[in-house]
């Protein structure tokens, strides 16, 4: 900004004084502007960020840590809740048992399985372990989805990742639909819990359905086998809810 000087009406000495005064007044803004330019050059042309941003970053980090801790606590409480529910469900069978052992007719099944979706292979390997008791009426299962599940969508021409590896547990009541000397057919319904939320299930807790064919050797010399189609879904309570579909083949130990 240029400074204006008052008109000169005096003599030569008066003109010198007025010019000197004007030159000093004009040099002040130029000096301040030069200082500002040097400060900007020293910081690379950028002004330093206010200190309040670092405080906001600290609050963001603390908030993320708090949410992660709450999620871990919720998972632990969910597993404990399911364990208590299973124990309560087992109580009537245990109270009616005349034999002192905790599980008189328990059968442990181990095997292998695979995931699918609408009869398309999603490439997920399943390791199941199930415990069946009370004359095949109840089942408690532990399942490990060991690999990533993907599905090729022809409409979009792309492959989508549906789920990452996770652990799952289930507790079901089973009803016998048909029975023959060498086989029995069951339908089961209960609840399941997944350690991860994904595109298949947007909730940790889901309903669990199963259709099971059990093979039995007539002479009883060989172990029983079970072929089960399983489906976990939250019944549309929260989307996405494509449902976790998988089948298992297990052998009694």
Which mean pLDDT values do the consecutive 10-residue runs of the chain (253 residues) have? 44 48 47 52 50 63 70 63 59 49 83 90 94 94 96 84 96 96 95 95 96 88 92 93 95 92
At 193 the three-state DSSP class reads strand
* Rounded CA Rg of the chain: 37
> What is the phi/psi pair of residue 97, to 5°?
-70, 135
Residue 144 lies in a domain: yes
pLDDT at residue 190 in the model: 97
Q: Do the beta carbons of residue 168 and residue 128 sit within 8 Å?
A: no
CATH number of the CATH domain containing 106: 2.40.160.20
Helices (H) and strands (E) in the chain, counts: 2, 10
Q: Do the beta carbons of residue 231 and residue 151 sit within 8 Å?
A: no
Residue 7 lies in a domain: no
Count of structural domains, the chain: 1
Residue 19 lies in a domain: no
Residue 14 lies in a domain: no
> What is the phi/psi pair of residue 222, to 5°?
-105, 160
Burial of 208 (0-12, 13-18, 19+ CB in 10 A): buried
Residue 10 lies in a domain: no
Q: How far apart are CA 77 and CA 68, in angstroms?
A: 14
Residue numbers of the domain that contains 236: 70-252
Residue 219 lies in a domain: yes
Residue 173 lies in a domain: yes
Residue corresponding to tokens 């549309």: 236
pLDDT at residue 100 in the model: 46
Residue 107 lies in a domain: yes
């Amino acid at each position: 900004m240029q400074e204006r000087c008052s008109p000169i009406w005096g003599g030569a000495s008066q003109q010198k004084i007025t010019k000197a005064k004007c030159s000093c007044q004009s040099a002040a803004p130029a000096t301040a502007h030069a200082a500002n330019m040097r400060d900007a050059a020293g910081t690379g042309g950028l002004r330093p960020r206010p200190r309040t941003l670092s405080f906001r970053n600290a609050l963001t980090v603390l908030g993320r840590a708090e949410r992660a801790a709450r999620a871990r606590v919720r998972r632990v409480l969910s597993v404990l809740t399911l364990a208590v529910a299973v124990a309560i469900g087992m109580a009537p069978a245990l109270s009616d048992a005349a034999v002192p052992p905790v599980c008189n007719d328990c059968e442990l099944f181990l095997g292998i399985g695979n995931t699918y979706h609408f009869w398309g292979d999603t490439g997920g390997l399943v390791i199941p372990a199930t415990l069946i008791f009370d004359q095949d009426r109840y089942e408690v299962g532990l399942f490990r989805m060991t690999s990533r599940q993907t599905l090729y969508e022809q409409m979009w021409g792309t492959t989508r990742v549906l789920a990452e590896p996770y652990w799952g547990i289930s507790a079901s009541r089973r009803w016998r639909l048909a029975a023959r000397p060498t086989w029995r057919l069951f339908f089961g319904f209960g609840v399941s819990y997944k350690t991860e939320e994904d595109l298949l299930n947007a909730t940790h807790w889901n309903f669990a359905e199963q259709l099971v064919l059990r093979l039995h050797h007539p002479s009883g010399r060989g172990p029983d086998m079970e072929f089960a189609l399983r489906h976990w879904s939250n019944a549309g309570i929260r989307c996405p809810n494509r449902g976790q579909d998988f089948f298992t083949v297990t052998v009694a130990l």
